[in-house]
Each structure stands twice: as structure tokens, then as C-alpha cells.
């Protein structure tokens, strides 16, 4: 109980202290703007320093960037190490900040001193012996106010954003892992390359022989088309001859049917055998030429459905018909249709 009471007492007394100090400051303030020298007179004792450091450590255990913020805010000692990298920028910022904070903090100058730059930090120890009594009260404001923390964070963030990162393919990573990551990425790259090559090879193999035709007709294709056209014309003419011959006669009457057969035969042979038009040859398998002795209706013929017998010894005795046609085809080097 007694202890508690004492604690309470001390707390109250402290509060009083703060108040008194505040009043003091305000008094000072009324006199004029506080000079930086006065604010340097801040003493941080070892205990509190340790505490802050610990807090800072805890706070920024997960991020590099935050370290800068916190240290900037609470631990002035760490500042030089960070700001050294870019003294020109950070120092300026910090100084600006100091001025601003001084402007803004107004009465509560107590927080101000902790926001000081390197110089202040070095001075702190020197001044520590000066006013022991006041220090007790001065320490507490060492915990940064929210607004100032914000500012510090802002500053640090700006810092980070300003940092020009080397155009590495890796981007920013923790240096410890850099080697590993590079290795891994390199490996992956190599793998991908190999895979891609294999795929490409496969693709070319699959595409072998595949030719995209040109949009125009080259001479060879023109020639081929003309050959094919010749063939079609020949066939159509032959068909025309054969079919016009039987026009006008009724095939159902026996007499006329005979007449038709005669005519068509004549017409067809005249078409086929014309020496002046050798190109007409080679309508190879046109049925009409061969089966004049046999019944017209296919099933009555002797060789009905037996045509496949030809297939059995197709190589020994190619039938005469074909070879004939071949002979004719050779003349004009074009044989047509079937």
C-alpha cells in the first residue's frame, strides 16, 4: 500500500513537474522563440535509451524501411548511420523537419529536442549532467507524438521512394538472398531456354513439308490449271457428243434404242479416235466402248460384280484397255477423268 501510494505520489509529482515545466516553457516562449541551444539541453539517461532502442528493435524487426523512421523519431543516435548514405538529402529534410516541429509544437517544446539531428545527439551526453532534475521530466516526451511519428514516417517513406534502384532484373531484394535468387533465376532461364529450343525443334519437325501457298499463281500452277482445264473440256465435249446423239429418241422403243446405241457408239468412237484431236484419248474407263455385245443392264453381264478379279493379278496382265489408253495418253501427255 505504502509503495503504491508512493508511486501514485511520484506520478502525481511527475505530472506536476511536467506541468510546471510546460509553464516554464510557455514563459520562455512568451519571451521569444526558443533557441536551438536551449533545446539541445536534453538528457537521455541510459535506461530510457535502452528502452527506446529495444522498442525500436521490436518495431522494425520486420522491415528495413521502418527502421529508418523509428530511429529518426525516437533514437537520434542511429540517424547518422542511415543518413550517411545520403547526407545531403536527409539532413536537409531533418533540419526542415526540426524547424517545422519547433514551429508547430509551440509550447510543448519538450518533444522537440528529441527530434534533433546528429549534432544534438552527440551533445546529449554532454548536457546530461547539467540538469538532472529536469531530465526526469524530459525523458517522457522522448516518446514521439503521433503527428511527429507520422512526419517521420513520411520522411522516411519519401526517402525510400527517392532511392534509385539499379535496373536489375531481380529488383530490390534482401542482399542476403541475392546470390541464391540470382542462381535460381539463372537456372530457370536456362531451363526455359532448353525447353523452348526443344519445342521449336519439334515444331519445325511437325511443320516439315508444310508450305503456305503464295497469293498469286505461279507459272507452274498456271500450267497445272491449264492441263486440268484441258481435261475437263475434253470430258465435257465427249459427254456433249454422246448425249446430243441420243437426244430426241425414245430409248424405250427397241428400234430407237438400237439406233441410239449405234449413234452414240459412233459419236463416242469418233470422239475418242480422232487422230486430229489426240487429246481426246484416255477417257479410260468409260464403259460404253467395251460392252456392246453384252446386255445393257449390268446384272445380266457375264462379268457383273466380278470386276474385282482384275485386282488379283493386276500386276501380271494389266488389261489391254488401260495400256491402250496409256499409249494414247503418252501422245499428249494428258489423260483425263474416269
User: What residue ranges bind other proteins (CB under 8 A)?
Assistant: 205-215, 220-221, 224-233, 235-240, 242-244, 246-247, 264, 268, 282-288, 297-299, 301, 304-305, 307-308, 311, 314-315, 318, 322-323, 326-327, 329-330, 333-338
Least Å distance, CB 198 to other proteins, is 15
Nearer to other proteins, 168 or 218 (CB): 218
Taking the CA atoms of residue 154, residue 155, residue 156 and residue 162 in that order, the dihedral angle to the nearest 10 degrees is 110
Nearer to other proteins, 20 or 243 (CB): 243
Nearer to other proteins, 18 or 235 (CB): 235
φ and ψ at residue 114, rounded to 5 degrees: -70, -15
Nearer to other proteins, 41 or 234 (CB): 234
DSSP letter string, 47-85? HHHHHHHHHHHHHTSS-HHHHHHHHHHT-GGGHHHHHTT
Contact between 140 and 107 under an 8 Å Cβ cutoff? The reply is: no
Nearer to other proteins, 156 or 329 (CB): 329
Least Å distance, CB 192 to other proteins, is 23
Least Å distance, CB 174 to other proteins, is 46
Least Å distance, CB 205 to other proteins, is 7
**Is 142 in a helix, a strand, or coil?**
helix
Least Å distance, CB 279 to other proteins, is 11
168: left (phi over 0), alpha (psi -120 to 50) or beta: beta
Least Å distance, CB 269 to other proteins, is 11
Nearer to other proteins, 162 or 202 (CB): 202
Nearer to other proteins, 167 or 207 (CB): 207
DSSP letter string, 93-124? HHHHHHHHHHHHHTT-TTTGGGG--HHHHHHH
Nearer to other proteins, 175 or 204 (CB): 204
Taking the CA atoms of residue 100, residue 103, residue 107 and residue 111 in that order, the dihedral angle to the nearest 10 degrees is 20
Burial per residue of 309-334, b for 16 or more beta-carbon CB atoms within 10 angstroms, e otherwise = eeeeeeeeeeeeeeeebeebbeebeb
Least Å distance, CB 222 to other proteins, is 10
Least Å distance, CB 252 to other proteins, is 15
Q: What does each C-alpha distance from 121 to 71, 125, 150, 260, 334 come to in angstroms?
A: 12, 8, 21, 127, 106
Q: Distance between CA atoms of 285 and 337, rounded to whole angstroms? A: 8
Q: Distance between CA atoms of 20 and 23, rounded to whole angstroms? A: 5
Amino acid at each position: 500500500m505504502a509503495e503504491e501510494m508512493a508511486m501514485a505520489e511520484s506520478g502525481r509529482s511527475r505530472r506536476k513537474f511536467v506541468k510546471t515545466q510546460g509553464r516554464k516553457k510557455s514563459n520562455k516562449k512568451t519571451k521569444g522563440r526558443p533557441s536551438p541551444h536551449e533545446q539541445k539541453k536534453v538528457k537521455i539517461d541510459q535506461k530510457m535509451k535502452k528502452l527506446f532502442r529495444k522498442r525500436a528493435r521490436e518495431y522494425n524487426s520486420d522491415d528495413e524501411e521502418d527502421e529508418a523512421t523509428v530511429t529518426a523519431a525516437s533514437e537520434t543516435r542511429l540517424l547518422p548511420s542511415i543518413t550517411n548514405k545520403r547526407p545531403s538529402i536527409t539532413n536537409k529534410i531533418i533540419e526542415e523537419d526540426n524547424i517545422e516541429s519547433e514551429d508547430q509544437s509551440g509550447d510543448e517544446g519538450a518533444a522537440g529536442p528529441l527530434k534533433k539531428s546528429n549534432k544534438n545527439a552527440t551533445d546529449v551526453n554532454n548536457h546530461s549532467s547539467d540538469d538532472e532534475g529536469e531530465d526526469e521530466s524530459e525523458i517522457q516526451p522522448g516518446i514521439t507524438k503521433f503527428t511527429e511519428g507520422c512526419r517521420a514516417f513520411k520522411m522516411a517513406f519519401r526517402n525510400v521512394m527517392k532511392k534509385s534502384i539499379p535496373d536489375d532484373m531481380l529488383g530490390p531484394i534482401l542482399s542476403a538472398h541475392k546470390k541464391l535468387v540470382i542462381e535460381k533465376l539463372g537456372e530457370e532461364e536456362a531451363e526455359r531456354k532448353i525447353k523452348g529450343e526443344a519445342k521449336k525443334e519439334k515444331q519445325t519437325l511437325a511443320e516439315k513439308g508444310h508450305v503456305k501457298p503464295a497469293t498469286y499463281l505461279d507459272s507452274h500452277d498456271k500450267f497445272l490449271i491449264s492441263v486440268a482445264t484441258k481435261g475437263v473440256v475434253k470430258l465435257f465435249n465427249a459427254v456433249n457428243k454422246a448425249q446430243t446423239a441420243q437426244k430426241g429418241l425414245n430409248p424405250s422403243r427397241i428400234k430407237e434404242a438400237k439406233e441410239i446405241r449405234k449413234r452414240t457408239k459412233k459419236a463416242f468412237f469418233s470422239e475418242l479416235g480422232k487422230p486430229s484431236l489426240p487429246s481426246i484419248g484416255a477417257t479410260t474407263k468409260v464403259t460404253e466402248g467395251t460392252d456392246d455385245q453384252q446386255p445393257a443392264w449390268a446384272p445380266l453381264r457375264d462379268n457383273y460384280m466380278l470386276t474385282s478379279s482384275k485386282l488379283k493379278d493386276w500386276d501380271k496382265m494389266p488389261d489391254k484397255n488401260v495400256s491402250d489408253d496409256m499409249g494414247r495418253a503418252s501422245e499428249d501427255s494428258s489423260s483425263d477423268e474416269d
